[in-house]
Amino acid sequence: MAHHVCVPRLDRRGFLKVGAALSGGLVINVAVPIAFRPPWAAEVGPSFDPNAFIRIDRRGVVTLVMPMVEMGQGTYTALPMLLAEELEVALDQVRLEHAPPNDVLYANPMLHFQATGMSSSIRAFWTPLRQAGAVGRTLLIAAAANRWRVDPGRCRAQRGVILHPTSTRRLPYGELVDDAATLPVPAADSVALKDSREFTLIGTPAKRLDTPDKVNGLAQFGIDVRVPNMKVAAIAISPVFGGKPKSVNEAAARTVKGVCQVVRIDNAVAVVGDHMWAAKKGLIAAAIQWDDGPLATINSSDIIRQLEEASKQPGVVARNEGDAENALAGAAQRIDAIYQVPFLAHAAMEPMNCTVHVRKDGCDLWVGTQVPTRTQSLVAEITGLPKDAVKLHNQLLGGGFGRRLEADGTVLAVKIAQHVDGPVKVLWSREEDIQHDMYRPYYYDRLSAGLDASGKPVAWTHRLCGSSIYARYLPQIFTNGLDHDAVEAAAEPPYHLPNIHVDYVRVEPPGIPTAFWRGVGPTHNVFVVESFIDELAAAAKQDPVAYRKTLLGHNPRALGVLELATRQAGWGRPLPARRARGVSVQFAFDTYLSQVAEVEVTTEGSVQVHRIVCAVDCGIAINPDTIAAQVEGGALFGLTAALYGNITLKNGRVEQSNFHDYQPIRIDEAPRIETHLVRSAASPGGFGEAPTAAVAPAVTNAIFAATGKRIRTLPIDTALLKSTA
């Protein structure tokens, strides 16, 4: 999701409300103003809740109710670090709870509702959580100073204790919380926040709070939820999108031991059983026949042809500066290219699932979701229940990558559960998960550039064609036909390009739903822009790094990461034959990043990535170890897509089904990955998605350097790389 569309600034002030907890102690609510609310978040409730957000109890235990969800990106450690830094508590004094759905208390100001995505968590809560900590600390100091009748200016807070150094008196927070809850609350922006040089926790590689239970099997993901008297349902969804079950042998399914019930809904069949195996066997016995509906003739080639046609007509202008058309006509050299990236599934390790208990008067949902309020609202709609009767119990996510920004899995589960007496866990097989994902769109891009006699670009045109996710997901910000997400990192490449024209043609593919995927816009656009810049460098007969540097003079942070990455990678040092380096630079999610990939292409055409060096300027790095982990993981996520990721349709059906034909990278193919951080005092940028985008062009540019062959379509077709020599 793009950041341009969001009104809030990074320094946005939160409104703090402070009061007493029900069971005693201090409660701090952080309400960040939201520019507008989508329909499902429109209702406004009380803005103070004695259980909400931050509680400090009489034992001094700090509870942070996590507005963002943990799916591996480390937010369950980084957000508590922001609070703990200013509240002056150790990280191990903070307990975490998953937040219930509530847009009044927990909305993400960058996304306009309670949602974890767009690499936004740190940017959204950087100021509000530190302010909440500072206000809490100020109140606790005031409470202690009152009790001791001393100047609060002579007291200080340290590791959950207020100290009065001159008299050596000390009081732990737990003994002060009730007093603190009654004191007048200072305005959030009246409390001074630490300068980054004073940080003792932020900037340290703090241990993740969620790790211990993830190494001993105790961590509970959505799929692990067990409710008394719960049944398990296996599902089959129409293999063609929009199809319906035509015939179901319910009697045969019910003869399978452990099967209780067969449920038929509009586009799917579920077999409910005592355990998954019984349900699965029941599903096979049901021998479902499908009415495929009108989309059963769609093939990938139809979709690509449609995109190609659409790309011949102008689109909605995303950026226009100078006169690209004239500059192109007058250029000494003209380069044209077409780039394509495929549909991609998410394939999170935890297959889609949701446990539901629908009753006359209410509904409980146990699910790991990136969008609790959107989910709650959709379920209220289906069931006809009031929203507050739909209780959502959020869980740890076994991977999100954007898949769990959609509520389709929960909607399906609820429709099934409406026919089931008692709670039911609806669990997708891996095949259903891959074949009924909502996919990263296929994009078809047309680019032209003009170079002057010295090889410098004088014109740049880029037309992007593909699905708009925002048009469906959040139409309020799909304005004038422009999807800011789709064009992120294309409309504003980091380079000095004097005559630039970027336009977007929305094309919705028939027969396949599209959705967000780890860094949608940048993941597509950085590949295209960084490959094309590389093409220009080659046309200008210049070194790709030197060429980029001449175009980054105005952009010191982009130049800084490029210099750091290439220096650490040993750019220019000789390599064996068929081995070469490639580079990429990007600015996305408010983070600068440069990657150098060292790649070997065998004479048979196979691609082995040996090493990836990544330089990062994300402003203040909250937890540098998490940054490194996200570089390692993001690069492999992007590399998997570049090497293997390809969802195709044949006769309306997704052809891939499991990890043999939707192949993830494995440990024996994983390159060495190095992270180098630029020290910075700038406000933090987003990070969960950034490293995914930069890797594909670094690798394909290295392939070009090694073989002279330019990859313009992903995934990389190794047949093209076979040596003919």
What residues make contact with another protein under the rule CB under 8 A?
70-74, 205, 207-208, 210-212, 214-221, 223-224, 226, 232, 257-258, 274-278, 281, 347-351, 396-401, 427, 429-431, 625, 629, 632-637, 640, 658-660, 664-668, 670, 672-673
Shortest distance in whole angstroms from residue 371 CB to another protein: 17
Alpha helices in 149-262 (DSSP H): 177-180, 212-215, 250-254
Do β-strands 231-237 and 169-172 pair in parallel, antiparallel, or remain unpaired? unpaired
Nearer to another protein, 226 or 305 (CB): 226
Q: Which is nearer to another protein, 307 or 405 (CB)?
A: 405
Instruction: Supply φ then ψ for residue 5, to 5 degrees.
Output: -75, -5
* Sole residue written with tokens 């800084």: 560
- Residue whose structure tokens are 């995914």: 692
Nearest approach, Cβ of residue 523 and another protein (Å): 15
Q: How far is the CB of 400 from another protein (least distance, A)?
A: 8
Minimum distance between the CB of residue 118 and another protein, rounded to whole angstroms?
18
DSSP codes, 330-366: T-SEEEEEEEEE-BB----SS--EEEEEE-SS-EEEE
Give the nearest distance from C-beta 424 to another protein in angstroms: 12
Minimum Å gap between C-beta 277 and another protein is 4
Nearer to another protein, 219 or 620 (CB): 219
Shortest distance in whole angstroms from residue 73 CB to another protein: 7
Q: Which residues pair with 236 in a beta bridge?
A: 269
Answer for the pair 390, 136: CB distance below 8 angstroms, yes or no.
Answer: no
**Smaller CB separation from another protein, 333 or 658:** 658
Q: Between 44 and 218, whose beta carbon lies closer to another protein? A: 218
Contact 602, 578 (CB under 8 A): yes
Q: Which is nearer to another protein, 178 or 674 (CB)?
A: 674
Residues in the chain: 725
Whichever of 300 and 591 has its CB closer to another protein, that residue is 591
Q: Among residues 72 and 203, whose Cβ is nearest to another protein?
A: 72
Two tokens at 23? 């069971």
Closest residue by Cα to residue 645 from 236, 337, 340, 346: 346
Centre a 10 Å sphere on the Cβ of residue 166 and count the other Cβ atoms it contains.
10
CB of 455 to another protein, least distance (A): 37
* Six token digits for residue 384: 């006809």
Beta strand spans in 437-482 (E): 443-451, 457-466
C-beta closer to another protein: residue 14 or 691: 691
Q: Any idea of the CA torsion for 381, 344, 587, 201, to the nearest 10 degrees? A: 70
d(CA 555, CA 551): 9
Q: How far is the CB of 403 from another protein (least distance, A)?
A: 11
Q: Which of these, 40, 112, 714, lies nearest to 373 by C-alpha position?
A: 40
- Helical axes 624-643 vs 520-539, angle rounded to 10°: 70
Residue 253 — φ and ψ, nearest 5°? -60, -40
